[in-house]
Each structure stands twice: as structure tokens, then as C-alpha cells.
Chain A
Amino acid sequence: MSIFSDVPQAPPVAVFKLTADFREDSHPQKVNLGVGAYRTDDSQPWVLPVVKKVERLIVEDDSLNHEYLPILGLPEFRSASSKVALGDDSPAIKENRVGGVQALGGTGALRIGAEFLRRWYNGTNNTATPVYVSAPTWENHNAVFADAGFKDIRPYHYWDAAKRGLDLAGLLDDLEKAPEHSIFVLHACAHNPTGTDPTQEEWKKIAEIMKRRKLFVFFDSAYQGFASGSLEKDAWAIRFFVSEGFELFVAQSFSKNFGLYNERVGNLTVVAQDNENLTRILSQMEKIVRTTWSNPPSQGARIVSKTLNCPELFAEWKGNVKTMADRVLLMRDQLKSKLQALGTPGTWDHITQQIGMFSFTGLNPKQVEYMIKEKHVYLMASGRINMCGLTTKNIDYVAQSIHEAVTKVQ
């Protein structure tokens, strides 16, 4: 009798299952609009030219070895990452109250932050502190906080399906009604999966309530630079909240904006009230890291660090990021135009109003099923598409498929 005979089969993670199904499909016109990874106009993964350059430098550098990084990660990486999020002239950085924890991707940064909050926020080991995530949100947010021990994870209003935009009133209402000290996971820009971000005025309203009601700000920043093409613009919300005096966390990912998906490069930026608090916080972060992965992987951090800390490479990187952002903007523009030209029922302004890699098309599950089964166009059941999956070669087919789905399937 096995000790594991009662282990049930777990459902596969949807987004990876989608890609697996796509791979098995032999249809010549198949399109994968699932997983959130950038693709070129030839539907190929793109290793950023600056990354190739820096990797060569690293391989050729005989002085480099494979020794352990410190528990909190590569120091030059941590400081440069926090700087990218908060800005070169950030007063918080100047006041020495900003620290970073190198983590395994954005996921790792979220998890370390969540583990810390569960242990040390709102009392000690207070698993009852409510954690609010947007409705909808990245599907892994829930599990990250649940597995960190939080027992009460709730949605906050975010996506208004009827108007296909931000449900600001609902959001603000949830903020007003949330118990004090609740944790809110905010998407810094390019909301996943809706692509719908608050405007600057809307962010100000959100901040006002959060300050007044003592709610904790946990930013998830996975697309800085990738959304608008501008690092500064995409970090506006983070910087605004910092300027308003919040102590906050930012889980940063360099998976998308550096195209370093499989090297797991992330950083948890901690903005504390002062250096003394920061020191204690980081000492506890070390304890959490030590029992999770001991110390983080060095390759990806080296690449990002070298790039961010060298002016020419930094400029080249910004150019690469803009290339990606611009292609996405172009695809948004073209998809909208084509749907409008086809006379596809409904309004399609949201395609160009939304920002970043994803778009919430508004297709319902039946229509999604049609897209997949009949047209071999793979997208998430929520109607989310990855704009990067669109190319000048397949966009007509995709627009036509959406048109059919909307007109034939209710």
C-alpha cells in the first residue's frame, strides 16, 4: 500500500495546457494567443540583441565563476533594479530606505513578499489579514498568497465586462469597505489579463483611500517598459505612491522586458520608512529566502545588472524594449482596424485602449471554444489574447476568426 496512493491528480495549469494543445495541433493556420511571451513578426521568440551581447561578455570573462551569490542576491542587480522601478533621482533611494531581494522571477518576488507579510505584517503570523486581488487577475496570485499561509483572499472589483473597462466605482467602494490593514495587490501597469490600467487621476483616488484606510500596497510590476515603451511612464503609479509616503513592496519581473523568461530574474523592492526599518526587514527576508532557495541563480541577474549599470547597454536595452512595445501597439491598431472593416458586431476601441501584452477581447467561453476547435486559434477561456501572438501574417485570419465567432456563436 503506497503512502501516496491517495494523491489525487491535479488539474494542469491552464495556460501551459493551452500551449501543449497548440503544439499537438497540426492545422497549418494555427495561432497561439495563449502564453504571455513576446514573439517577433515571424512568430519566433526573440532574444534581445543587448542580451546576446552581454551573454557573450559573460562567457568570455574568465574572471567570473559560479560561486554562490549572497542570500539576498547580486548587490549591483538589486540596487539597479530598484532604481529602474523608482527612478534615478528617487528621494526614497537617496534616503537609503529602499532595498531589494533578488528573486526567481516576478513569482518568486511575490512569494517572498507574501511570506514576509504573513509572518510580520499586521501583527505576527496573522494569517487572517485579508489579501485582495483584482477580479480578474493573473491566475497565480491566489495560490502565491494562499500557499504563503493567508486564509482570506478576496477579489476587488476591477473589470467591467459590460463597458469593457475599469470598474472604478466598484474598486473604490471595495477600498472603502476593506478592513483596515488589508493587503491589496495592484498591477503597476499593463494589467494582466485585462490590459486595462487606471488613469493617473484614478490612481490618485485609489491612493487617497488606501492611505486613509491604512491598506497595504503590494505592486506587481511585470511589464515595465513593455507597456508604453517608456520605463518612466510605466512606473508612474509606483513612483506616485512612493512620493505619497507609502511603505510598500514592488514585485519586479525581468522576464518580459528583458526576454529572460527562463533565467528567472526578479526583484522584490522594499520601500521602508527609514533605513533602520529596512535593515530589520531585510534580515528577516534572508531567513525566508534561506529556507526557500538559499540564494538566487546568478546568470540572469548578471545579464540584467551589466545592462542596467552600463549607460550604452542601458540605452540599447531601452531601444530593444521599445521595439517590442511598438510591435504590440501596431498589432493592436491593426486588429481594431480589421475588425471594424469587417463590420464585426460590437465596439473594438478597447483593443487600442488596453495596454501591454494582453487584451481582454470580450469573447465568451463558447466563442473561445469555437476559436480553438473550429479555427485553431488558441486563447484563454477568459477571452484573453496575447497580442504578441499576432503577426502581419496571421492577423487577417485571426480577425476573420473573431468575426465568425462573434457572429455565429452567442
Chain B
Amino acid sequence: HEDLRSSMFPDLVGMHYSWWGGVQMGPPDPILGVTEAFKRDTNPKKMNLGVGAYRDDQGKPFVLSCVRKAEALIAAKQLDKEYLPIGGLGEFTKACAQLALGADNEVLKSGRSITVQTISGTGSLRIGANFLSRFHGGPRDVYLPKPSWGNHTPIFRDAGMQLKAYRYYDPSTCGFDFKGALDDISKIPEQSVILLHACAHNPTGVDPKPEQWKEIADLVKKRNLLVFFDMAYQGFASGDIDRDAWSVRYFIEQGHNIVLSQSFAKNMGLYGERVGGFTVVCNDADEAKRVESQLKILIRPIYSNPPMNGARIATTILNTPDLRSLWLEEVHGMANRIIKMREQLVAGLKKEGSTHNWQHVIDQIGMFCFTGLKPEQVERLTKEFSVYMTKDGRISMAGVSSGNVGYLAHGIHAVTK
């Protein structure tokens, strides 16, 4: 179209038309679009069950006490603002790896892994995707569970990988399609990448049980697949950090050299500080050093080195005993409130007279609940009750409080009876 322009306007020297005439309007982000619509709604009873950010029982953002305490400690230290190394704050990456793997993990003792600080979970996934794209000798395909977090696909695609899927969610049970998953995984070509949600699957809240994880680990090993764990909710799912990391640790124990993305957005409430880690478990320390050097080469032309503030807060919490205990308590508290809301929602639905089986609301875990609502029902829920959620029927339990759970039950019953 440049040629067309020059022939139509031969005297123009480039300043009378724009370079960007061909730039299409990008589609609005589906999840953030929900919040936009919510903001415009004037109904006093409106509920935002879209974005996955934790809210307290008053519906307010929650800054953890351990975070405030850590910030005060840090402020008192009067630290400088010098660049961090490309791979991030050393104390942070060490604590981050220990949190995921367990402090006494053989992998950490032998030095056969590398952890770099990343821009929260997204940044971690992207670095991982870029690393695989550049160095993974196997197929370009990354297998995601069906469904998965919406941003997984464009992240891997932009990194040059291709996306495929394995069955995961069973809409008929609102639970795990274990047979379907095993069946699909058994057919994945060797050396392909398989992405697993470590806990609190987003968007369904459906996690495999330990015995199921074991079979998956076994099958994945048989198929010789590269495992990419996404752990964005450690501690947030069950309330117990070790329990939530069980799947990651089990796979490593079984000999999988995994790659792992971690986020501290939810479990420390550090959303906007962008705190995360990317870990590669290698065969030995030498390999880990080589991998580290290449990760730095990838990171440098994206953002040079990561931001300090959030990493400092996270490190202070993890490495200061009473702050760490306080954090574990608060994470437990957040997870518990979610679990309570799940129970209250189901109780509320029963009270409304719903005859549907809502057990999945309690069985699912973590921030999100795949209600099983169909798009038309979601639309009604939004239009008639001002309850905002994504079209797939996903609700963020964090947006539910004791003050509005009754109203939510009422609305859901109304559109499903």
C-alpha cells in the first residue's frame, strides 16, 4: 500500500500521511475488558468476578502485613539503587528456588539448577519460552491443558513456539478429564514441551490428585517430554506452600529436569511489583552455568536487569523468620477465605432452591472457579444482576465476600433454574 500511496500522492514527502495507516486496532483484552465494563456499571450491587487479584472480605485490595513490615525494614536500610545483575538479586533467586523446591532439595545442594529473577509470572514464562525457542532441539510444539490461562498462547507464539493442547477439563463433571489427559499425553511426540499448572489450575481450579499426578509423571517420562511447570499460586491454593509445590517436587524426584515459572503476585500480593522467577533444572552444575549464561543473553535485550523493589520485599519476608511465619499465616488466611466463600456459595445455592450439583465449586481450588455456566447464562448474570465475569463461566472467588455471596447465589440460581 506504500506504492499505492506514492502513486496517488506523488508530491508528498512522507509527512502528509502516516506510517501507521495500516496498523489495525488491537482487540481489547478479554479479561481486562470485563473490568472496564464493570467500572461503567452504576448498579450498587455490582460484582467484579473478572480479574484474579485477591480481595479481602470488604472487597478491598489486601496489602499483607508481612509486606508492610518488610517495606519498613527495607526503608530503614537506606539502600542504594544500583543495577541488579542481569539474573536478578542473588538472595532472591536463592530463596525463590528454595521455596519451590524445598530448602533441602538435592537439586539445590548439587547446584544443578539455575534460577533467574523475572518480571513476575508473565516475564518468567516469556523468558522460558524464548529459551526453549532458541535452545530446545525437540519439536516446536508446546502442549497446553485445555483450557489454560489465556495469555499462555500468545506468549509462546510470540517466542516462536507452536501451540497444541491436551484434554484437561471435563465440562460434564466440571472436573478433571483424567482419562482424556492420559490418552492425549500418550500421543504427544517425544521431546515436545508439556506445560503443567503446578496447583490451582487457571481458569478451572481443577487440579489432579496426587495419585493422578504420579501417573501423569510416569507417562510424561515414558514419552520423554520436557516439562514446563507454571506455579503462580504456591501457598494460595491449599494454604500450605509445601503441599502446593508437591507436584513440582515429585516430578523432580522422579528424574524430570523441569523448567519452572514462579510468581509472587498473588501469594505475596505483590502484583504491581512484578516479582517472579524462572528455574531450569539441569544435569549438573556445569550445564546450569551454561544455561545461566544464555538466559542472561536473552534477558539483556529485553529489559537489561530486573526491578529491585518487589524482589527485596519478597527476599526480606522469606529470609526473616518472623516475617516468614507471618507470611505463611497470611497466605493461609487468604486461601481459607476463598475456601469459605466456596462453601458459602454452595450453601447459598442450596438455600435458593437450586437442584443442580454444585460440588465442583467446593472441589475446585485456588482463586478461580469454573462454574459451568454457559455463555448465555453468563450474559444474563451480567445484564440482569451486574455480576461481571469472563464468558467461559470463570469467576474469581477473590471477588466474593460474605457480604455479596448471597446475592451471587441468588443471581446464579436465577439464570440456571
Contacts and interface: CB of A to CB of B under 8 A. Distances in A.
B307 A297 contact: yes
Give the interface centre of A3, A51, A59, A147 by most chain B CB atoms within 10 Å.
A3
A261 interface: yes
B23 A281 contact: yes
Contacts of B37: none
Contacts of B226: 3
B190 to A, nearest CB: 11
Nearest to A106: B304
Interface residues of B, number: 81
Contacts of B270: 66
A293 B126 contact: yes
A199 interface: no
Contact of A5 (B84, B136, B287): B287
A299 B309 CA distance: 7
Contacts of B119: 104, 292-294, 297
Interface in A263-285: 263-264, 272-274, 277, 279-281, 283-284
A147 B78 CA distance: 37
A52 to B, nearest CB: 8
Given A2-B257, A262-B307, A297-B274, A67 B61 contact: yes
A410 interface: no
B291 A7 contact: yes
B85 interface: yes
Contact of B303 (A111, A123, A277, A281): A111
B302 A111 contact: yes
Is chain A's binding surface mostly helix, strand, loop or mixed? loop
Contacts of B339: none
A280 B15 contact: no
Given A111-B302, A263-B309, A216 B19 contact: yes
B300 interface: yes
Interface in B40-89: 51, 53, 61, 63, 67, 71-72, 75, 78, 80-86
A26 interface: no
Interface in B291-324: 291, 293-294, 296-298, 300-310
B4 interface: no
Given A47-B80, A291-B154, A67 B287 contact: no
B122 interface: yes
Nearest to A69: B272
B61 A4 contact: no
A68 B61 CA distance: 11
Contact of A286 (B29, B120, B191, B307): B29
A140 B300 contact: yes
Contact of A263 (B18, B122, B158, B308): B308
B67 A293 contact: no
B19 A293 contact: no
Contact of B15 (A56, A143, A245, A259): A245
A37 B83 contact: yes
Interface string A137-163: 000100110110000000000000000
B274 A296 contact: yes
A299 B74 CA distance: 14
A6 to B, nearest CB: 7
Give the interface centre of B81, B154, B309 by most chain A CB atoms within 10 Å.
B81
B226 to A, nearest CB: 6
B23 to A, nearest CB: 5
A52 B77 CA distance: 12
Give the interface centre of B24, B269, B291, B302 by most chain A CB atoms within 10 Å.
B302
Contacts of A290: 29, 122, 151, 154
A212 B71 CA distance: 54
B22 interface: yes
B75 A293 contact: no
Give the interface centre of A4, A8, A44, A67 by most chain B CB atoms within 10 Å.
A4
Contacts of A377: none
Contact of A292 (B17, B85, B123, B297): B123
Interface in B148-191: 151, 154-155, 157-158, 191
Interface in B174-218: 191
B14 interface: yes
Contacts of A108: 302-304
A235 B136 CA distance: 44
Interface stretch (A9-17, A83-91, A308-316, A397-405): A9-17
Given A7-B290, A68-B53, A245-B15, A291 B122 contact: yes
Contacts of A32: none
B135 A123 contact: no
B81 A47 contact: yes
A288 B302 CA distance: 12
A293 B303 contact: yes
B63 A147 contact: no
B354 interface: no
B21 interface: yes
B75 A59 contact: yes
A71 interface: yes
Nearest to A289: B122
B358 interface: no
Contacts of B19: 121-122, 216, 247
Contact of B22 (A124, A146, A297): A124
Nearest to B14: A214
A409 B74 CA distance: 48
Give the interface centre of B24, B26, B82, B137 by most chain A CB atoms within 10 Å.
B26
A7 B309 contact: no
A291 B75 contact: no
Given A214-B14, A247-B20, A294-B151, A3 B137 contact: yes
Contacts of A260: 81
Contacts of A55: 75
Interface string B9-33: 0000111011111111110110010
B23 A7 contact: no
Contacts of A261: 81-83
B250 interface: no
B123 A293 contact: yes
A298 interface: yes
B282 A2 contact: yes
Nearest to A121: B19
Given A277-B21, A280-B23, 16 more contacts: A5-B287, A8-B294, A9-B289, A45-B80, A47-B80, A56-B75, A66-B269, A66-B272, A68-B53, A108-B302, A140-B304, A212-B13, A262-B83, A283-B26, A297-B310, A299-B307
15 contacts: A2-B257, A6-B137, A11-B293, A12-B293, A37-B83, A66-B67, A67-B53, A108-B302, A143-B300, A147-B302, A261-B81, A287-B154, A291-B122, A291-B154, A294-B274
Interface of B: 2, 13-15, 17-26, 28-29, 32, 51, 53, 61, 63, 67, 71-72, 75, 78, 80-86, 119-123, 126, 135-138, 151, 154-155, 157-158, 191, 226, 257, 265, 269-274, 280, 282-283, 287, 289-291, 293-294, 296-298, 300-310
**Pairs of residues from A and B, 4 with the lowest C-beta to C-beta distance, nearest first:** A104-B303, A283-B26, A143-B301, A294-B122
Interface of A: 2-13, 16, 35, 37, 44-45, 47, 51-52, 55-56, 59, 65-69, 71, 103-105, 107-108, 111, 120-124, 140, 143-144, 146-147, 181, 211-212, 214, 216, 245-247, 255, 259-264, 272-274, 277, 279-281, 283-284, 286-288, 290-300
